[in-house]
Amino acid sequence: MYIYPVFSVAAEPTVQPEIDISSVEGRNATVRWRLPANNGVNAGTASGFLVRLFGPPPSSETLLEETTLLTVLSTKFHNMKYQQDYTVVVRLINCGSQGPPSKPYLFRINSQGPSSPRNIQALPLSTSAIQVRWQPPEDPNGGIVKYIIEYQPVGRGTPHPWVDTDDGNKTAKDVTALNGSTLYQFRVRAFSKVPGEWSKIVQAMTQGDGEEEDLIVTSHDIT
């Protein structure tokens, strides 16, 4: 007589998580949740949590889906967009079975300053000067009053000197009084009422003695 194998199906969790807090640092957001007291949840009734991040309505597209261990009650979302509504839902899982979802948790990342300047370039001009160019931020978040350019020799660990533009309409600045044949790094940020986000870092080397005046060394992004 053939004996049919018996397969057990993981029971669906019945406890509903509660999202109770979120914190924002720059464009990163951390969301935390908890389980009700005396919930009876253990490794035998649940294997972890399923976290889903949704974009703004009306499409409410699923942007991210991840699982955490049962002992992990938070997750961090990176590089979120400013001024955009997000929704998070958390539920218990037990192998392939899913429990009831938490109440949707809505949050938004508000920026007080401009987003980062774009397409930064650093072009050597002479043995003592490099010109830094950029494009304005996508989100000025108010009127830009000026830009600040921070610079330092690469690998020196020296304090970061800086220069600024005369107004918010200029998108280039000559950084002078530099050392010859020296590799420098630069980054830029815009100011409105408050400072904005820093741009990517770019590098360029000043010319050495005897080099042609029109020599341009290609700068490169540092990620």
Where are the domains positioned within the chain?
18-108, 118-222
Best CA proximity match to 92, nearest among 210, 10, 174: 10
CA gap 65, 201 in Å, rounded:
31
Mean pLDDT of 32-42: 90
Mean pLDDT of 152-163: 86
- Please give the CATH architecture assigned to the domain spanning 18-108: Sandwich (2.60)
pTM above 0.75, yes or no: no
CATH superfamily of 118-222: Immunoglobulins (2.60.40.10)
* Backbone dihedral region for residue 106 (phi beyond 0: left; psi -120 to 50: alpha; all else: beta): beta
Average pLDDT, the chain: 87
Mean pLDDT of 134-152: 91
pLDDT at residue 1, rounded to an integer: 61
Best CA proximity match to 187, nearest among 157, 219, 156, 218: 219
CA gap 144, 192 in Å, rounded:
4
Q: pLDDT band for position 111 (50/70/90)?
A: low
pLDDT at residue 135, rounded to an integer: 97
